[in-house]
Structure 1
């Protein structure tokens, strides 16, 4: 009988512990859900708790900035490559057009068009060399986004879940502490359980918080190294492109220096004459406006002089008889 009673008591204790565990899990989920609603709705949280995560929030801003700017950089590279191709195509078409028209003109102008057309075709071919470094830059940034940023993003998500659990446990402990009676054994035991839950969630949150801060620092340094390495190749290619094209254009300019047609001279002279004419009209208009303004001011002052004798300095100090004689 005693063994049977002991077995029943052990079974009852097991059932109570299981029930307590289920209730505890239910309460944990309740307070976690409540904290999630507070975060989603944007309600004000405890300022001390928010201030304790200021360094973490600063790191999260850096992470979101890196994530956003990498996406924008990929879009810009795509547009840049597309526009380089279009510009090179248009430049090549213009060069071919000048060469074909210049071959039909046997004068010096035809030679200038042919030389300029060849230079534009050469420039269009050299411009396409920029697509190589840009393509490599695009691949490197895309790989960086899919691997480094995605890995950090997963850690950030785990940290946010842990932070929600931790803050939910703090809300739970705050609620229990408001109704705490030190003389009641059950309430003290409940408070200790909640306190243990807070410690457990804080330990998990602190670990993930440290992981996020370290990964964000490493992410920023890795992106700087990546861009400085890949953009060096692009910069070198761009400098070579401008050196070659500028040397070609300068050679054409020197070979045809001083060659100017009479039509161009006439156009230049007429253009200068038109500019002088416009300048003369503008000056005359300004002088007329200044004259009209001075006349208006004179009339305005004369009107006030007629209304108020003291405004006329010549009338000061005269007698009434002298003023009448002057007016007559």
Structure 2
């Protein structure tokens, strides 16, 4: 019975402190997950950071969309070049078979279409390079930044949990009571 009134050891205090910290962090996670309204001053203080996070997420989404668009463009470019080349060969073949005046027009048009198909295929190399550069940027810069953002979000959740804890303790704070003041300092 006497041990109940004795001061807690440092290990017991740190365990209690860790449990309290986890409680308030979990409470903050639940507030965020359920979409409950957070303290307007805390949210306002993070406005600049949230704006930067929006820009990052926009960059991330844009990179993904750009990669998809470039891939589709390459596929369609190849299909168009193939069709154009086949039409050019067909016209050149028909020109050889035809004995009329249309022969010259079919031959010239066929050669032009084949040349155009080759020039269109020349776009494939720069597009591949663009795709590689965007993919590298996305895989390295964006993914590294995302890992940093995830760590920052964890720290922000812990920080906001600590602010909730401080707010709770400060509501009960009586500056004349030394023990309560020490509790506030500890938080």
Q: TM-score, normalised by structure 1?
A: 0.54
Find out whether 1:25 has 2:18 as its counterpart.
yes
- Tell me how far 1:134 sits from its aligned partner: 0.3
CA–CA distance in 2 between the matches of 1:183 and 1:168?
Answer: 26
Query: Superposition RMSD on alpha carbons, in Å?
Result: 1.2
Q: 2:155 aligns with which of 130, 152, 162?
A: 162
CA–CA distance in 1 between the matches of 2:23 and 2:153?
Answer: 17
Partner-residue secondary structure (3-state), 1:139: helix
Of the two, which has the highest radius of gyration?
1
CA–CA distance in 1 between the matches of 2:30 and 2:88?
Answer: 65
- Tell me how far 1:104 sits from its aligned partner: 1.3
Q: 1:48 aligns with which of 28, 38, 41?
A: 41
- Aligned equivalent of 2:114: 121
- Aligned equivalent of 2:3: none
CA–CA distance in 2 between the matches of 1:88 and 1:185?
Answer: 83
- Tell me how far 1:155 sits from its aligned partner: 1.1
- Aligned equivalent of 2:101: 108
Q: What residue ranges of structure 2 are gaps of 5+ in the alignment?
A: 1-5
Partner-residue secondary structure (3-state), 1:100: helix
CA–CA distance in 2 between the matches of 1:17 and 1:185?
Answer: 19
CA–CA distance in 2 between the matches of 1:18 and 1:146?
Answer: 44
Deviation sequence 1:18-59 (CA, Å, 0-9, x none): 101000000000000000111111111111111111111110
Partner-residue secondary structure (3-state), 1:61: helix
CA–CA distance in 2 between the matches of 1:18 and 1:100?
Answer: 91
Partner-residue secondary structure (3-state), 1:25: helix
CA–CA distance in 2 between the matches of 1:98 and 1:107?
Answer: 14
CA–CA distance in 2 between the matches of 1:191 and 1:47?
Answer: 22
- Aligned equivalent of 1:130: 123
Deviation sequence 1:108-133 (CA, Å, 0-9, x none): 11111111111111111111100000
Deviation sequence 1:125-183 (CA, Å, 0-9, x none): 11110000000001111111111111111111111111111111110011111112223
- Aligned equivalent of 2:64: 71
Partner-residue secondary structure (3-state), 1:181: coil
- Tell me how far 1:106 sits from its aligned partner: 1.2
Alignment of structure 1 residues 281-296 onto 2, 5 Å = none
Kindly indicate whether structure 1 or structure 2 has the higher relative contact order, using CA contacts under 8 Å at least 6 residues apart. Answer: 2
CA–CA distance in 2 between the matches of 1:102 and 1:42?
Answer: 72
Divergent runs of 4+, >2 A: 181-185
Q: TM-score, normalised by structure 2?
A: 0.94
Q: 2:140 aligns with which of 136, 141, 147?
A: 147
Q: What residue ranges of structure 1 are gaps of 5+ in the alignment?
A: 1-11, 195-328
CA–CA distance in 1 between the matches of 2:19 and 2:119?
Answer: 69
CA–CA distance in 2 between the matches of 1:98 and 1:173?
Answer: 82
